[in-house]
Every structure is written in structure tokens, then in C-alpha cells.
Amino acid sequence: MIDLTGLDTRPAQTWGALRLVPLVRREPIEDLRLHAKVYGDEASMVYLPDKTVYTAYVPHAFVASWSDDGTPAAAYGTQLGRPLEHMCIRTRRRMARRVDKGRLRFLPLHLAVEGFLALHFGGPVVAWEEWSRQALAHGLSSRAEDAYIGAEVSGLEDALKVFEIYPGQCGLLLYAGDALASAFVVPHPEDYRALHPTLVRDMYGELIYDYALFYPVRDFPAVIDESVVSSLGDLRAEAVRAERDWAGFHDSVMAADLLRAPAQVEEVYRLGRFTLSRFLPAFERKSENHIGETITDVDGRLAYLKTFRLSEAQVRRGHLLSTLAGHDWSLPAAAATLRISAAALGLRLERAGFGHLLRQDVLDGYRKALSERSRRTRRGGAPSPPA
């Protein structure tokens, strides 16, 4: 599971529909440091292992610096570049690339999104008759997902400007309308101060964009028991208790879904005693599902975390693909698990954007079968058996 041991929750700050919950480290990590490099208005092309091409706008990248012997490593600091006057192309060999000894460049959240886009990318593993030639030959070619840059999330830029950074702060949990949007953790307080502004250039899901526009945050007032307060010491003790109660409520209720064990974890790169990994959720319907990336040490201590909350539509697509893959891409077997007919599953795949994977005559047959079943039902007759 995602373990936030060593990180303490501090009282939240709110701005409009946004709630910002700071995370403070008891002991900073000295031998792993992060800094940001801004690329400006560039496009980036990354060649994936299967020779397909992933193209994305790259607003910034993180550079991790570490030392093998455990001695402190100084941060390089944030570098701000002027926007380029023309469009240029940079070719990246990998999502995570070693730039020199003791330094690794990786794109924040792009590792995680790449893992989601590559979910069962090979397509059907058995040549069932329902699948098209394209599906069998090329798999889930040309996957695409939508996201909003932080500058488009209502109030986020202003919230980051007025946000009070706590002493020792190494992370932040961002909520929109009290829906957890993203988690961000770094090794050292100096890293957080340098990287705090980059949150406005991160990616956020459709749900977070909508919630920031339409849903207010709830009020969690601190309640002081006046009957036990007779001095400044008593008042201070009550304030500490209220802060502790808030942290317990937040960690056990508000952030509970984030802390569940990811369904899939993939190791991406080793940085000395640290490991860069990405994870995928179980794609459970009507619950929070986060993709993300982590850096942990040999003891499993969390040094870096960045997450992206999937929208309901993205969860449905992940759920469909995982169910199909779990049944060797057999439509009848997957449909039985979902308790629907194969025809209904086929049309559900089409609505999810995967209709091109099925043969056109098969899709047409599914539509005809469901239409005939619907007419029988309206006439009061017995519905047709599942296809």
C-alpha cells in the first residue's frame, strides 16, 4: 500500500472549491533531491519499447539527484526558461533517462499516464472471431486520454499563490470539492519550496476540473471545549487536540482510498538505494481510482509521490480492458462476469471508444439482437436469451 509513514498531516487551507492539505516530514531525506527544469512551449516525442510513439506537451520535468554513499546532495534549484518563439521538437529516448552520474530526468505524471495508456495495449491474445483484423494485428493502437493542465482548474493558481508553506513541509494533498485530486510528496522541504509552483503545470482529470467549478468545500470547524480551558496552556492543549483530531479524520476518511494498495506496481528505474516505480489501480467502479508514480528507498520509505485521479469514463475503460484481459479477451466469458450479454458488452465497448476492435458485422449483429430484444420486451413478450 502507499505508506505515508513519516509524513504528518497539518490543518488544511481552503480557497474557493479547493482544499490544500500540507504534509510535513519529521526527518527530511537528504541523499535524494528533486529540482525542476522548464522546457517552455515544446513538443516532446518519446519512443516506447514496442516502437510506438507517445507525443505530449512537456511543461516541465523533474530531475532527481542522489548519492550512492548516503551523504547529503545539494539541490540544483528551479530553472525558469523563456518561452520559445518557435515550435521545436525534442526527442527523448525514454520516459526516465539518466542525464549524468547521479542524476535522472523523468516527466512528472507522464510515467503514470504512459502505464495507463499501455494497459493491455497488445489487444486480444486469442484470435476470437469477434475481433477485427486491426485488433489482432495492432492491438489497442492510438489510445488517447484527456486531461486538464492545472492553469485551467478554477482557483488553483490563486490558491498556490496564497498558500502558506509550513516549516518542514514536503508534500500536499489537493482536493476539489472535497474530492481528492492529487497527492504530491518530495524528499526535502527545499525541494517542495522549489517545486510548489509546478503544481499549476501538472495534469488533472475531468472530474477535478468540474468539481473546482461547481462544488464548494465543506467546513470543518475546530471545536474547543470551553469547560477545560482556564489558562493559555489549556487553550494550547485544546488546539493541539483539535489538530490531532483533524489529522486522524483526514488520514482515515478523506485520504483512505488513496492509501489502498495499488493493483499493479511496475519498477521503472533504480537510483542507488532508491527505486522509481509507477502504479495502476484495480479500476473499481464508483470509487476513487488513482494512477501515479513513487520513489521509495530500500526500506519502503516514501521519498516521492505524484498521483492523478481518473475520471469515471477512464475507470470504465480500464475496468473493461482488465475484465477482457482477465478472460483471455473472450467476450462471452467477460460478459458473464459482468452479468450482461455479449451483445451488451460489445456495444459497451463501442461507447467506451473501442468499437474499432470489433468486426463491423459483429457490431451490427449485436445492435440488431438488442433492438429485437427491446421490441419483444415492449410488446410484453419474453425477452430473447443473452447472445
> Using 50, 70 and 90 to split pLDDT, how confident is the model at 51?
low
Q: Average model confidence (pLDDT) for the chain?
A: 80
Position 2 scores a pLDDT of 82
Instruction: Dump pLDDT digits (tens) for 169-215.
Output: 999 999 998 889 999 999 999 999 988 988 988 889 888 899 898 88
Instruction: Dump pLDDT digits (tens) for 118-153.
Output: 888 888 888 888 999 888 888 887 778 888 889 999
Question: What is the share, in percent, of the chain residues with pLDDT greater than 90?
Answer: 33
For 101, list phi and psi in degrees, rounded to 5. Answer: -60, 125
Residue 84 CA to residue 39 CA, distance in Å, equals: 9
Question: What is the share, in percent, of the chain residues with pLDDT greater than 70?
Answer: 80
Task: Assess contact for 350 and 316: CB atoms under 8 A.
Answer: no
Average pLDDT over residues 234-253: 84
Instruction: Dump pLDDT digits (tens) for 265-289.
Output: 999 888 888 898 999 999 998 889 9
> Using 50, 70 and 90 to split pLDDT, how confident is the model at 91?
very low
Position 167 scores a pLDDT of 93
Average pLDDT over residues 90-114: 68
Instruction: Dump pLDDT digits (tens) for 374-386.
Output: 777 776 655 555 5
